[in-house]
Amino acid sequence: MTENAHFAPRNQAPHPQQYAAPHSAPYPLPPVARGRAHAPSGRPRWGQPQPQGSQVPPARTERPRAEPDRTPPGRTDRTDRTDRKGGFAMSGDIRSLVLLAATLATGLMAGLYFAFSVAVMPGLGASDDRTLIEAMQRINVAILNGWFSLAFGGALVLGGVAAALHWRGDGRTALPWIIAGVVLYAASLIVTMGFNVPLNDKLAAAGDPSKIHDPAAVREQFQSAWLRWNVARVLTTTAALGCLAWALRLGRG
């Protein structure tokens, strides 16, 4: 080997070792690339030849999986509860509001009958005959007002409307309990109109308590029978309230 390869004859090729790189790369690396020669595995290194025609495969994009439908059979999402019949859409919120109103009206009547059984009649029972007759005559007149009529008849009407609205769609799960509540409340109306109201009318027909010849007999014919049938009203309306409350729970649940 000559001292200086630059002065080799033009027709003489330089020795291969003259330009060999001090590392294992097949050709010299640029100064900037020498510090980046060690790239992460799986990626081409700087300074290494890349096979012809090789391309980096595009990243795989997976489609998001749809959430499974966990809605129970016969139920739909609360945000889209609609029953369509003849092009008319009835929202589930309207059904729930009507059922709630029927439940409240039934609860008011059950509370009224319960109050008579545990407070009003026991209190009047401790008074004399003429006082009980006069008090019940006044109560029977005062109770015939708009608020009482609204709760007394509204509970049955609203219960029937709630049953009709729950006849189709996801409301079918609560329908048996609504029907049971309406039937029980109707039974309380039969008791009221068939037994309690006639007793009230008979008490009113007795006239002025101060002019009744035998107030003890009038009281005896009224008090025990009226209390017995009022307990029946308490039981039927309370059972109706429980059925409607459970139907409301099923409808919202």
What gap in Å lies between CA 14 and CA 29, rounded to an integer?
20
Q: Tens of pLDDT along 18-47?
A: 554 454 545 555 555 444 445 455 555 555
pLDDT at 15 over 80: no
- Could you tell me how far CA 110 lies from the centroid of its own chain? 25
- Nearest CA-CA partner of 174 in 188, 154, 159, 157: 159
211 φψ region: left (φ > 0), alpha (ψ -120 to 50), beta (else)? alpha
Q: Are the C-beta atoms of 184 and 240 separated by less than 8 Å?
A: yes
Q: Are the C-beta atoms of 112 and 233 separated by less than 8 Å?
A: no
Q: Are the C-beta atoms of 129 and 216 separated by less than 8 Å?
A: yes
Q: Specify the pLDDT at position 34.
A: 47
- Could you tell me how far CA 216 lies from the centroid of its own chain? 55
Q: Are the C-beta atoms of 110 and 185 separated by less than 8 Å?
A: no
Tokens of 139: 């109560």
Q: Are the C-beta atoms of 110 and 238 separated by less than 8 Å?
A: yes
The torsion angles phi and psi of 117, rounded to 5 degrees, stand at: -75, -35
Say what angle helices 215-252 and 175-191 make with each other, to 10 degrees: 170
Q: Which of 37-46, 134-143, 178-187 has the lowest mean pLDDT?
A: 37-46
Global pTM value: 0.65
Q: Which of 29-43, 76-90, 139-153, 171-185 has the lowest mean pLDDT?
A: 76-90
For residues 62-91, average pLDDT: 52
- Could you tell me how far CA 156 lies from the centroid of its own chain? 24
